[in-house]
Structure 1
Amino acid sequence: MKLKSYGTICMLILLMTSCKNLNESQSMVDDNKLDVKVYETSAAGNNLTEVTPFTVADSAAIITINEDKKFQTITGFGGAFTESSAYLLNRLSKKNRDTIINAYFSRAGANYSLTRTHMNSCDFSLSQYSFSPVENDMNLEHFTIEEDRDDLIPMIKDAMAASEDGFDIFASPWTAAPWMKDNNKWVGGKLLPKYYDTWALFFSKYIDAYEAEGIPIWGFTVENEPHGNGNNWESMHYTPKEMTDFVEFHLGPKLEADGHGDKIILGYDQNRAGLREWVDEMYRDEASSKYFDGTAIHWYESTYDYFPEELQYAHNKAPDKYLIETEGCVDSEVPAWKDDNWYWSKEATDWGWDWASEEDKHLHPKYAPVNRYARDIIGCMNNWVDGWVDWNMVLDKQGGPNWFENWCAAPVIVDPENDEVYFTPLYYTMAHFSKFIRPGAEVIEANNTDKNLMVTAAKNPDGTIAVVVFNEGMEDKSYSLRFRESEINIKLGPQSLQTVLIPNQN
């Protein structure tokens, strides 16, 4: 009996010791477990949904965050105020209009921080118009923004009211009024040299007019798509030298003289494949560089290849200047209505698939819209781009309206006839970046061992770190996210985009 009792006591002591060791071991594991929040958008149906970081036994991929290696500072993410979008909002009920504005600009929504608008009309206007309607008005005594009062200005003001953190606006002209151009047309042609000073004055008057409305202008791009657009809609052509001369000798000095020297001037504003010759000219010497604050780029040369070498070249040419993607969209497509699967399908193809030459076909593969956005933004962030701005915020079921019938998709599609709103997966894709990576964030190193995952990371001014991970493949993935001395294993399904938010660790 005594022996049995003794054996029982020994066993109990052994079990207690084992439990104590197990608890200590578990505590050590918990101490090393990284505390995160994970938000996911996926073809399976998540739309910026907070998900539980599933613990998996083995993670093939390892993502290591190194906050000590820093790159560019983020300017912002957002979209464009266009007449088409603003007109559609005015046709909706106040409830749905407010829903869309808050979804884009409130902290609870995507919290857009960088936006664009057009000076004079563009392809996503309802008609062609200019703020300088009177011919030979050299001093622009008849300058007016009356065309913007019904739609654009109210949309911008509503966005400002909804935004608790504020956002920057830059404006882009598609063309000067025909009377200032050598072909006297809305499409194509060049600015006549005798109107260079008049056109510089136009920018200054635009600032004054918009700021009189209570709308501050952060800056400009000099010209939307200076190579032209195939002579389809409003355009005005510059060579790199012509644009640089206009900025150095006319626009820059005029803004300075009128007290607007703090406004940002972004040169180029077209496809990334042509970057080298433009930045070489823009930053040709100290005198020209003085007035250029950065370079603007578009993605239409390819919505698959983000041209990392060209982006790196532009950064190295002017490492202290902005490098901002100012326009991208799924164009030449009538968008799908309430069909999330379309946005994850490669059959919603790149516009160049039908027209690209055989040698350029690789730049325009059949590629899902979500993939284009996620891949491009991550690729840009990993190659020195500090801002990324989408095109129209709102379009209708046709992909318009616009005077040229140039149908495109937008993150939010509406049916004004029935007062319905559809938030597409593109909206949630944009929010993965705009909501969690804030102005002033620094892009930091994210080492990734899986070539089939795309990863980028940024540390926000409040100390939080956002890590964006994209799996465009059709297979389940899992990865071990490591930061400082902690880590966590996370499961990532096929066709999924995640933002992992690491709280301030200080």
Structure 2
Amino acid sequence: MLKKIGCIILVIMLNSCKKENKLEVEVYETSAKGNKLTRVLDFNTAKDAVEITVIPEKEYQTITGFGGSFTESSAYLLNKLSKKNRDKILQAYFGSDGANYSLTRTHISSCDFSLNNYTYAPVANDVELEHFSIEEDTEDLVPMIKDAMVISNEGFKIIASPWTAPPWMKDNNAYVGGKLLPKYYESYALFFSKYLEAYQKEGIDIWAVTVVNEPHGNGNNWESMLFSPQEMTNFVQQHLGPKLETEGFKNVHILGYDQNREGLKEWVDEMYKNQATSKYYAGTAIHWYESTVNYFPEALQYAHNKAPDKYLIQTEACVDAEVPKWQDDAWYWSKEATDWGWDWAPEHQKSWHPKYVPVYRYARDIIGCLNNWVDGWVDWNMVLDTQGGPNWVKNWCVAPVIVKPETDEVYFTPIYYTLAHFSKYIRPNAKRIEIKNPDKSLMVTAAKNPDNTIAVVVFNQEKQAKNFTLKLKQEKVELTIDAQAIQTIIIH
């Protein structure tokens, strides 16, 4: 009997020890108080702290990556800086000690963040594109991409998007607005394969293309070309898909749509109507400009459910319609930013465009996207100047890194560190995993990396610090997140 009692006591003691095991973690924080991806070691404890549970057994989407965009404007600015600062920025974005970007985007021919309008096929009626040339890109854009490739240890994927076809292929013969003439559908498909071949010759492989940036147009303000869902799907099904296949680029992914989330249902219904329409689409590309506060979870869920085996990638986001604040971290944590919709949104959508906190918008959108099946998230320009350009149409925007070429100065804004909380610690082929979070004031997401580390990202937009307990199976750790802060917690 005594032996049996002793065994029972031992089992109870072992279970008790098991329950008290401490979870070993590394915690990195960016906050309004000044932390910038700073390692945090000291935490408060509270008996009533909310418990956030990580459930790695329940997996969701596979992560494609995170990053930003190569634009002519960014590349031009890098070439205006000293070699030391140019390298510093590229290392900060692509080095393993930096943000370690894994998914990027670039433009095909010019966009608003180019120095001027240009196309790789300027000769009118050159239907075979015999005069096709990417020479315009070789001074700034191509060198930036190639230097980033050298720095990146793991490499990164590139999505390429045209803002318009060559003007002579369009019904208005202009860079801005208009539609692609059906008689040039085959030439426009050839335009893509010529681009892929030219970049390949430069040693740059393009991972995916979109048919056109923002097919609803941009109010006819800069390079654009209109497509309906039916027109784009017909073009992909009958022309672009077969052309890439026959020209040896069948492994280059085609992403449809490439605009704001509110229009997703109409587009995915057409793109994924049946097997024939779906065949050449690898996934859907989306932007965030529909709202500064709403990330449209219902639309994201709908798009995923319509094609659960396809990519769903956020391809463009930025603080738009703003001249950047220079070396003023507080502004990026303040509810002072406005976007295009502050002035121009229709009355029924005004509530989608209030003043907002730039860091909050980024953190909220990325976490909201991840928790609703988005597998990749790409920011817009990597580098802009203190005006928010250069931009040929004066469409000023903010980038995570702002530079002053005339004095060779560089400013890493809080947006840079916010993006790095995801790009640095959630790696390609990670699996998003289940989180139980009873605290509605905290936004949380988590992913299990290929090396089996788990990254948990917690976002606190309240004006006071919050204590919480992080639990994984039978292990726990008590943590604190500062007021107005974002944390990445690494579980080894």
With normalisation by structure 2, the TM-score equals 0.96
Distance 1:209 1:334 in 2: 35
What SS class does the counterpart of residue 354 from structure 1 fall into?
A: helix
Distance 2:416 2:134 in 1: 30
Q: For residues 170-189 of structure 1, what are the structure 2 equivalents within 5 Å?
A: 170-189=159-178
Q: For residues 26-105 of structure 1, what are the structure 2 equivalents within 5 Å?
A: 28=17, 32-105=21-94
Number of the residue aligned with 1:475: 464
Number of the residue aligned with 1:162: 151
- List per-residue Cα deviations over 1:401-437 (Å, max 9, x = no partner): 0100110000000000000000000000000000000
Number of the residue aligned with 1:289: 278
Number of the residue aligned with 1:149: 138
What SS class does the counterpart of residue 193 from structure 2 fall into?
A: helix
Number of the residue aligned with 2:263: 274
Structure 1 residue 113, shift from structure 2 partner: 0.2
The reply on whether 1:214 has 2:171 as its aligned counterpart is: no
Number of the residue aligned with 1:14: none
- List per-residue Cα deviations over 1:220-277 (Å, max 9, x = no partner): 0111000000000000000000000000000000000011111100000000000001
Number of the residue aligned with 2:251: 262
Distance 2:81 2:52 in 1: 45
Distance 1:400 1:496 in 2: 29
Q: For residues 117-128 of structure 1, what are the structure 2 equivalents within 5 Å?
A: 117-128=106-117
8 Å Cα contact 1:468/1:499 also seen in 2 = yes
What SS class does the counterpart of residue 227 from structure 1 fall into?
A: coil
Structure 1 residue 494, shift from structure 2 partner: 1.1
Structure 1 residue 55, shift from structure 2 partner: 4.0
Distance 2:184 2:48 in 1: 63
Q: Please, which of 308, 312, 317 is the counterpart of residue 323 of structure 1?
A: 312
What SS class does the counterpart of residue 417 from structure 1 fall into?
A: helix
| Matching residue's letter, 1:128 | N
| Matching residue's letter, 1:419 | D
What SS class does the counterpart of residue 301 from structure 1 fall into?
A: coil
| Matching residue's letter, 1:375 | R
| Matching residue's letter, 2:343 | D
8 Å Cα contact 1:306/1:376 also seen in 2 = yes
- List per-residue Cα deviations over 1:471-497 (Å, max 9, x = no partner): 011122111100011011111111000
The reply on whether 1:343 has 2:324 as its aligned counterpart is: no
Number of the residue aligned with 1:367: 356
Distance 1:448 1:366 in 2: 28
8 Å Cα contact 1:36/1:500 also seen in 2 = yes
Structure number with greater Rg is 1
Structure 1 residue 285, shift from structure 2 partner: 1.3
What SS class does the counterpart of residue 293 from structure 1 fall into?
A: strand
Number of the residue aligned with 2:7: none
Structure 1 residue 58, shift from structure 2 partner: 2.4
8 Å Cα contact 1:343/1:426 also seen in 2 = yes
Distance 2:189 2:397 in 1: 32
What SS class does the counterpart of residue 92 from structure 2 fall into?
A: helix
Structure 1: 4+ residue segments shifted above 4 A: none
The reply on whether 1:410 has 2:399 as its aligned counterpart is: yes
Distance 1:226 1:53 in 2: 50
Structure 1 residue 30, shift from structure 2 partner: 9.7
With normalisation by structure 1, the TM-score equals 0.93
What SS class does the counterpart of residue 252 from structure 1 fall into?
A: helix
Number of the residue aligned with 2:217: 228
Q: CA RMSD in A?
A: 1.4
- List per-residue Cα deviations over 1:292-350 (Å, max 9, x = no partner): 00000000001210000000000000000000000000000001000000100111233
What SS class does the counterpart of residue 32 from structure 1 fall into?
A: coil
8 Å Cα contact 2:19/2:474 also seen in 1 = no
8 Å Cα contact 1:55/1:488 also seen in 2 = no
The reply on whether 1:314 has 2:303 as its aligned counterpart is: yes
Q: Please, which of 469, 480, 484 is the counterpart of residue 491 of structure 1?
A: 480
Tell which deviates more after alignment, 407-416 or 57-66. 57-66
Structure 1 residue 31, shift from structure 2 partner: 5.7
Distance 1:335 1:351 in 2: 15
Distance 2:349 2:70 in 1: 32
Distance 1:481 1:357 in 2: 43
| Matching residue's letter, 1:188 | G
Structure 1 residue 28, shift from structure 2 partner: 3.7
| Matching residue's letter, 2:100 | N
Distance 2:171 2:426 in 1: 44
Distance 1:499 1:209 in 2: 40
